[in-house]
Structure 1
Amino acid sequence: MSLSTRVTDVVQRALDIVVAVVVLVVAAPVMAVVAVLVAAGLGRPVLFRQARPGRHGRPFTLVKFRTMRDVDERRGLVSDADRLTRLGRLLRATSLDELPTMWNVLRGEMSLVGPRPLLMHYLDLYTPEQARRHLVRPGVTGLAQVSGRNAVDWEERLALDVWYVDHRSLGLHLRIFVRTVLILLRRHGITAPGDSTMPQFTGSPRAKGD
């Protein structure tokens, strides 16, 4: 790792702490309102917790606001499309569901910018090149998100994550942050084409030998 990259990582961590504290304080009233709405619309718990791979693949508990009903096969609530509520769609579109994730940032489990933390069982599906996305802390937003969010297919998304790892700089972080704000205002790329959220990653064709 070069000196400039080490400096970038140190400064980015300092900025993560400052921004996370400010957001948690300033957005506290908004989080309280969202918590009440989620409790009324979806019940308790209001927070969604799930193990996700962090830096070097080490698991941590991701915290977000709930946006989906519980799985209920008797009521036909199985797929994401069935379980995602109108409130949940609004929270996802505005990224208000991500506000509790600032706790993960403050704890050093995530960064403001980096590859998004995906599912634990994806770790065994990556190619060695794709697995390099875990050389840095996962981010609340990242290069793949500002390049199309969930509308970007898996191959391109993971390639963008690795490119970010190799080219990260303070300038790149700032550009990603600004583009994130613009995307949130436009509500672009919230879902993948033909899917309510993002289809499951089943492995790269290169890993399968196709």
Structure 2
Amino acid sequence: MDGSSRRIRTPRIKRLLDVFGAVLCLVGLSPVLLAVAALVALRLGRPVLFRQERPGLDGKAFTILKFRSMLPVDTARGIETDAQRLTRFGAALRASSLDELPSLWNILRGDMSFVGPRPSLCRYLDLYTPEESRRHEVRPGLTGLAQVRGRNALPWPDRLRSDVEYVDRLSLRLDAAILVRTIGVVLRREGINTPGHVSSDIFQGTTLEREPNR
């Protein structure tokens, strides 16, 4: 099979595997989902789910779902920054990656895949170079090549290069290898945050001059 045929077939098979895997996980992990939801409601209050617009395939926005891991902003109590809002429970939720479980619904819907570039923020779209924007040629993933290479501890240029490399190397074999490596990353709790930050640092662009988007 030539390369072009492989790239046509792989996304179709990948999507079928995503649907099967998402259904299996949602059913099998339903007791965990319910338990975490109850703990979030008890420790952090409602709403239990965090919703945010993220760019997906071809840069089209979708609403990502996660379990909340932060307290709401409360200026009266001096709770304003991310560091102040992130509780010990929320940090543990992130470290275990249990906060990502509701994103299984995004995979089932077709917003995401199990493996692909992590969905970043919509405000970053205008900051990417044309090459970096290629990360949106595939569905974003629950995990990806950048995640198994350092996650949030990886500098932004390296993360984005890994995302584009994934697009170029797209295959089911690569997906399987990333999923296996992800288990070790999660168990070792590696790269949860950028040094000096409670999660990831802010992307400000990799070059100072860019052609305006058309």
Aligning the two structures, in what range does the TM-score lie when normalised by the shorter sequence?
A: over 0.9
**8 Å Cα contact 1:65/1:98 also seen in 2:** yes
**Partner SS for 1:68:** coil
Would the alpha carbon gap of residues 207 and 105 (structure 1) be closer, same or farther in structure 2, given more than 3 Å must change? farther
1:192 equivalenced with 2:194 (yes/no): yes
**8 Å Cα contact 2:115/2:143 also seen in 1:** yes
Alignment partner, residue 25 of structure 2: 23
Tell me, in whole angstroms, the C-alpha distance in 2 between the residues paired with 1:39 and 1:190.
23
Tell me, in whole angstroms, the C-alpha distance in 1 between the residues paired with 2:15 and 2:32.
25
Alignment partner, residue 124 of structure 2: 122
1:35 equivalenced with 2:31 (yes/no): no
Tell me, in whole angstroms, the C-alpha distance in 1 between the residues paired with 2:144 and 2:49.
23
Deviation of the 1:158 alpha carbon = 0.6
Q: Percent identity?
A: 56
**Partner SS for 1:121:** helix
Deviation of the 1:148 alpha carbon = 0.5
> What pairs up with 1:118-157 in 2 under 5 angstroms?
118-157=120-159
Query: Any unmatched runs of 5+ in structure 1?
Result: none
Tell me, in whole angstroms, the C-alpha distance in 2 between the residues paired with 1:168 and 1:55.
14
> What pairs up with 1:1-210 in 2 under 5 angstroms?
2-205=4-207, 207=209
Tell me, in whole angstroms, the C-alpha distance in 1 between the residues paired with 2:133 and 2:192.
24
Task: Kindly provide the CA deviation profile for residues 97-116 of structure 1, in whole angstroms up to 9, marking residues without a partner as x.
Answer: 11110000000010000000
Task: Kindly provide the CA deviation profile for residues 131-173 of structure 1, in whole angstroms up to 9, marking residues without a partner as x.
Answer: 1100110000000000001100111001100110111111110
**Partner SS for 1:197:** coil
Letter in 2 for 1:100: P
Query: Any unmatched runs of 5+ in structure 2?
Result: none
**8 Å Cα contact 2:129/2:210 also seen in 1:** no
**Partner SS for 2:8:** helix
**8 Å Cα contact 1:125/1:207 also seen in 2:** no
Tell me, in whole angstroms, the C-alpha distance in 1 between the residues paired with 2:78 and 2:137.
40
**8 Å Cα contact 1:16/1:106 also seen in 2:** yes
**Partner SS for 1:128:** coil
Letter in 2 for 1:176: I
**Partner SS for 2:53:** strand
Task: Kindly provide the CA deviation profile for residues 24-48 of structure 1, in whole angstroms up to 9, marking residues without a partner as x.
Answer: 0011001111011100111100000
Q: TM-score, normalised by structure 2?
A: 0.94
**Partner SS for 1:70:** coil
Tell me, in whole angstroms, the C-alpha distance in 2 between the residues paired with 1:183 and 1:22.
22
Deviant stretches of 4+, over 3 Å:
206-209
**8 Å Cα contact 1:127/1:207 also seen in 2:** no
Letter in 2 for 1:131: S
Q: Root-mean-square deviation (CA), in Å?
A: 1.3
Tell me, in whole angstroms, the C-alpha distance in 2 between the residues paired with 1:53 and 1:37.
29
**8 Å Cα contact 2:37/2:67 also seen in 1:** yes
Tell me, in whole angstroms, the C-alpha distance in 1 between the residues paired with 2:95 and 2:142.
14
